[in-house]
């Protein structure tokens, strides 16, 4: 009862904090310079795959991977449990890689009470701490919970209820700073506590110094009469944060909105539109930040061609920490010849240098839909976008494709501070692949990831630690059910 009352009180306090408009502000002081972190020390290879979960039936959409210091990796995943039979539900579990034994710990349940899992997010810092946030069903309604992994104790904390139950199944994002501060952002249709009904973008902050969630939920968006979706966030070492999301204007056209948290003033900034207003709809933003506090954001945005046809490309915008301003948006890729579309972009930054890699799914128009995993490289020294890697390209000049269409939502990208990078993606021929790049250089030939030849792979994700060791987790389907597999690039 006391926990429930506290969560209600925190939620109401949060509603009041920005009810009359958040302050217009910039990020706080930039992080102090730090020594570069070394990347991969030698050429590595993928380890023999091993089973990650003992559960026979997995729910892929809840699988997440994160990594921190050299030799560390975390994975959370879900599968159906019968602990509360006959009321089976999909529950969240965690496993951790230990470099000393080159093994993964037995799966550990994170939920403190039964309830079907609806959403999940995972992040880790550079000290080996991690945070998991998830949305699950409870008797009171859909509710957010969190658990923190302490590198000092080697233990996950008991699940903590973060909010009063929400009225829908929000989109959400968790981001963690190099030093362990975190921001959790979600979008929701507020009905129970909001009269009239409002579309809200909410944020909470976790402070590493106090090891607790230090701020109740705060609404970030000013206009709340149109739906908001797909938040993105990035933090610097001081705890200042940039947050973005997709929201429709009064005409129903989607735009990218952004807000910021100033860690010096303990203050959230008023939101503003970051996408170009003279273009068409902009959706699904992604953002990453380097060690100096500069950030790069990417999103798909429609534009009409000179012939009146509608095409979709990728726009990018850079946040310059020295001036504390967003630079103008620029188009970094589009396919004018076929008016195809780019979807679900992601971006990672080599935090030592500020060099970045953006990636997305490309689908040409009209069909057949031969989707491709491609991207663009950003060079910080020149402050410009450079080469366009095609991750799923075969090394066979007579057969440039790997054999299948890239599935929606990929590629998944990861980078260490030195610029060693990896891309993961799955294809329609039931294969999953990884391509690795040692900095500086080009991506190596793609390598298939599977437990055995002929294995049916459904999806893949992964992460990379501070010194370039990568972790891949994928799901395979067989006659007796789905299984989860893991391999290390080391």
| Predicted local confidence at residue 85, as pLDDT | 52
Residue 110: HSE in the Cβ half-sphere, 13 Å Cα cutoff: 34
Q: What is the pTM of this model?
A: 0.91
| Predicted local confidence at residue 9, as pLDDT | 41
46-73 average pLDDT score:
88
The per-residue pLDDT for range 264-282, each reduced to its tens digit, is: 999 999 899 999 988 889 9
Per-residue pLDDT at 338 exceeds 70: no
**Rounded to whole angstroms, how far apart are CA atoms 326 and 304?**
25
More confident residue, 116 or 316: 316
349-361 average pLDDT score:
95
| Predicted local confidence at residue 80, as pLDDT | 78
Strands (E), 116-240: 117-124, 130-138, 141-150, 155-156, 160-161, 172-176, 182-190, 198-207, 212-219, 228-235
| Predicted local confidence at residue 332, as pLDDT | 94
Residue 293: HSE in the Cβ half-sphere, 13 Å Cα cutoff: 25
DSSP class per residue in 308-351: S-EEEEEEEEEEETTTTEEPPPEEEE--TTTT-EEEEEEEEE-T
Lowest-confidence range among 220-234, 356-370, 387-401? 387-401
| Predicted local confidence at residue 1, as pLDDT | 39
Q: How many CB atoms lie within 10 A of CB 450?
A: 19
Per-residue pLDDT at 47 exceeds 50: yes
Per-residue pLDDT at 399 exceeds 60: no
406-411 average pLDDT score:
70
436-444 average pLDDT score:
89
| Predicted local confidence at residue 15, as pLDDT | 40
pLDDT confidence band for 183 (50 / 70 / 90): very high
**Rounded to whole angstroms, how far apart are CA atoms 220 and 198?**
12
| Predicted local confidence at residue 90, as pLDDT | 84
**Rounded to whole angstroms, how far apart are CA atoms 169 and 186?**
10
405-415 average pLDDT score:
80
29-37 average pLDDT score:
92
| Predicted local confidence at residue 179, as pLDDT | 96
| Predicted local confidence at residue 478, as pLDDT | 80
Q: Phi/psi zone of residue 85: left (φ > 0), alpha (ψ -120 to 50 degrees), beta?
A: beta
Q: Structure tokens of 422?
A: 């990896």
Per-residue pLDDT at 12 exceeds 80: no
**Rounded to whole angstroms, how far apart are CA atoms 130 and 175?**
10
| Predicted local confidence at residue 247, as pLDDT | 95
| Predicted local confidence at residue 367, as pLDDT | 61
Per-residue pLDDT at 254 exceeds 70: yes
Q: Structure tokens of 344?
A: 């679900």
What domains, with CATH codes, occur in the chain?
A: 2-489 (2.120.10.10)
Lowest-confidence range among 202-216, 299-313, 438-452? 299-313
DSSP class per residue in 358-410: EEEEEE-SSSS---EEEEEEEETTTTEE----BTTB-S-TT--B-SSPBPTT-
| Predicted local confidence at residue 128, as pLDDT | 96
Strands 103-104 and 295-304: unpaired
Per-residue pLDDT at 259 exceeds 80: yes
The per-residue pLDDT for range 126-170, each reduced to its tens digit, is: 999 999 999 999 999 999 999 999 999 999 999 999 999 999 999
| Predicted local confidence at residue 368, as pLDDT | 60
Average pLDDT, the chain: 87
The per-residue pLDDT for range 305-332, each reduced to its tens digit, is: 667 677 788 999 999 999 999 999 999 9
pLDDT confidence band for 482 (50 / 70 / 90): confident
The per-residue pLDDT for range 358-379, each reduced to its tens digit, is: 999 888 776 665 778 889 999 9
Per-residue pLDDT at 8 exceeds 50: no
């Amino acid at each position: 009862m006391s926990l429930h009352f506290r969560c209600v009180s925190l939620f109401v306090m949060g509603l009041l904090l920005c009810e009359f408009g958040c302050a217009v502000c910039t990020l706080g002081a930039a992080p102090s310079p730090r020594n570069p972190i070394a990347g991969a020390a030698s050429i590595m290879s993928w380890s023999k795959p091993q089973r990650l979960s003992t559960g026979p039936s997995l729910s892929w959409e809840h699988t997440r991977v994160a990594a921190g210091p050299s030799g560390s990796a975390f994975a959370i995943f879900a599968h159906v449990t019968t602990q509360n039979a006959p009321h089976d539900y999909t529950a969240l579990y965690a496993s951790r890689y230990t470099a000393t034994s080159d093994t993964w710990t037995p799966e550990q349940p994170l939920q403190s009470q039964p309830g079907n899992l609806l959403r999940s997010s995972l992040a880790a810092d550079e000290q080996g701490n991690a945070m998991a946030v998830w949305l699950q069903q409870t008797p009171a309604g859909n509710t957010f919970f969190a658990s923190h992994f302490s590198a000092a104790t080697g233990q996950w904390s008991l699940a903590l209820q973060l909010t009063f139950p929400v009225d829908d199944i929000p989109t959400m994002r968790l981001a963690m700073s190099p030093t362990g501060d975190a921001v959790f952002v979600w979008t929701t249709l507020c009905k129970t506590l909001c009269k009239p009904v409002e579309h809200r973008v909410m944020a909470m902050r976790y402070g590493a110094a106090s090891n607790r969630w230090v701020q109740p939920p705060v609404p970030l968006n000013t206009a709340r009469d149109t739906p908001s979706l797909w938040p993105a966030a990035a933090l610097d070492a001081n705890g200042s944060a940039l947050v973005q999301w997709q929201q429709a204007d009064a005409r129903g056209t989607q735009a990218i909105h952004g807000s910021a948290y100033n860690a010096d003033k303990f203050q959230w900034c008023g939101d503003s539109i970051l996408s170009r207003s003279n273009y068409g709809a902009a959706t699904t933003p992604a953002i990453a930040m380097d060690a100096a506090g500069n950030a790069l954001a990417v999103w798909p945005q429609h534009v009409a061609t000179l012939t009146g046809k509608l095409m979709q490309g990728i726009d990018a915008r850079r946040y310059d920490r020295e001036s504390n301003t967003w630079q103008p948006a620029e188009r970094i890729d589009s396919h004018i010849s076929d008016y195809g579309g780019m979807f679900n972009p992601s971006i990672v930054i080599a935090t030592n240098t500020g060099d970045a890699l953006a990636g997305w799914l490309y689908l040409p128009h009209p069909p057949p839909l031969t989707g491709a995993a491609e991207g663009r490289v950003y060079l910080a020294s020149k402050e410009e976008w450079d080469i366009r890697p095609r991750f799923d390209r075969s090394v066979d000049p007579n057969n440039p494709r790997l054999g299948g269409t890239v599935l929606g939502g990929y590629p998944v990208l990861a980078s260490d501070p030195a610029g060693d990078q990896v891309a993961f993606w799955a294809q329609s021929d039931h294969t999953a692949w990884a391509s690795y790049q040692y900095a500086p250089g080009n991506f190596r030939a793609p390598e298939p990831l599977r437990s055995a030849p002929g294995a049916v792979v459904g999806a893949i994700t992964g992460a990379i630690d501070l010194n370039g060791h990568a972790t891949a987790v994928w799901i395979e389907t067989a006659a007796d059910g789905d299984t989860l597999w893991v391999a290390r690039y080391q």
